[in-house]
Amino acid sequence: MTGPDEPAALHATDLGFRYRARGEWALRDCGFTLPRGRITALVGRNGAGKSTLLHLAGGLLRPAHGEIRVLDIPPDTAAARTRVALLTQDKPLYPRFTVADTLLMGRKLNASWDGSVAERVVREGGIALTARVGELSPGRRTRVALALALGKRPDLLLLDEPLADLDPVVRGEIMATLMAEAAEREVSIVLSSHVLPDLEQTCDWVMLLRAGRVELSEDTDTLREGHALLTGHVDEEPSLRGHTVVHRRTHGRQLTALVRPRGPVGGDWHVERPGLEEILLGHLRDGPGAAKEAVA
Ligand SMILES: Nc1ncnc2c1ncn2[C@@H]1O[C@H](COP(=O)(O)OP(=O)(O)OP(=O)(O)O)[C@@H](O)[C@H]1O
């Protein structure tokens, strides 16, 4: 976790939201700080609350409870609208506009517009400025929407599943563009994604939501160092008492356990350092909050 005085990209206190006054809570009791200058992966099962959180951060929704701040200011202010760009899943673009028209609209709507950045992002995807947006493939439309968001020169970029409809090559290209932008301008990026393998090389902070609550919010190195993948005979299992077993599976008499050790682990285990994907999958399958999810 970051300290309370460190500048935050996103900061929430006791945040709650429900879509209808009497409906289920989509987010509840969320308190977290995402540090600035990082690429944060927002992960969680379907319906965990990722889009809701990004919409709250983008000022499209208002909290029913608690508070969320972006770059230490409220999201529904003019200052936040200038400094924060949100790319939603539906990527609202005008299908009859050409790509050039779309970028011109970006210039007219944003005082801080940088056409060279937007054009570079479009050009890198081999997209003609004369192409009509409605005739582009979904992946190319995503790139145009991203160009519009980056051309705004935001300090915080919120991306709701930007990789969902892209092939692996384009996903890699988009992630490279985002990383370059983050490194060059220290843009803070928060992106929700189900494509775990793509997050390993790019994200340096992870927040995992489960049934509307924050289960993890950590630096990825700390997360890797804090987990161990143990393989051994099932009879060794009692030695795991007192440690957090995030996920376990057996194959015959062999037990493999993803563990968050609380001190030295006894027993006769083969110990490996798991990758980020393995850690996140373990938590998503049945991390500590899984029982709560089952009844949510
Ligand atoms: N417009 C809406 N009206 C009512 N309930 C909604 C609406 N949008 C989302 N929800 C509910 O809020 C909860 C959180 O949904 P949300 O879309 O934020 O999850 P998510 O993690 O983004 O899911 P996914 O990975 O499927 O996109 C879910 O229970 C969902 O059914």
User: 260: burial class by Cβ within 10 Å (0-12, 13-18, 19+)?
Assistant: middle
Q: For residue 27, report the distance from its CA to the centre of ligand 1, in Å.
A: 10
Q: Which helix (H) or strand (E) is 68 found in, with range? A: strand 65-70
pLDDT (0 to 100) of residue 24: 87
Give the ipTM. Answer: 0.98
The structure's pTM equals 0.91
Least confident residue range of 38-42, 181-185, 242-246, 248-252: 181-185
What is the distance between the alpha carbons of residues 51 and 47, in angstroms, rounded to a whole number? 9
Look at residue 129 in the predicted model and tell me its pLDDT: 95
Task: Kindly report the protein residue whose alpha carbon is nearest to atom 5 of ligand 1.
Answer: 19
Closest CA to 42 of 90, 93, 89: 89
| Centroid of ligand 1 to alpha carbon of 50 (angstroms) | 8
State residue 4 phi and psi, 5-degree precision: -65, -25
Ligand 1: residue whose CA is nearest its atom 1: 19
Residue 49 beta carbon below 6 angstroms from any ligand 1 atom: yes
Exposure string for 23-35, b = 16+ CB within 10 A, e = fewer: eebbbbebebbbb
Q: How far apart, in Å, do the first and last CA atoms of the chain sit?
A: 26
Task: Tell me which H or E stretch contains 140.
Answer: helix 138-151
pLDDT at 278: 94
Residue having the nearest C-alpha atom to atom 18 of ligand 1: 49
What is the distance in A from the centroid of ligand 1 to the CA of 28? 13
Query: d(Cα 160, Cα 165) in Å, to the nearest integer?
Result: 12
Query: Which residue from 183, 127, 187 is spatially nearest to 151, judged by alpha carbons?
Result: 187
Sign of the CA dihedral with 260 first, then 266, 268, and 270 last: positive
Q: Work out which ligand 1 atom sits closest to the CA atom of 89.
A: 27
Q: What is the pLDDT of residues 170-202, one digit of tens each?
A: 888 888 888 888 888 889 999 999 988 888 888
Tell me how far apart the alpha carbons of residues 111 and 108 are, in angstroms, rounded to a whole number. 7
Per-residue pLDDT tens over the stretch 93-144: 899 999 999 999 999 998 889 999 999 999 988 999 999 999 999 889 989 9
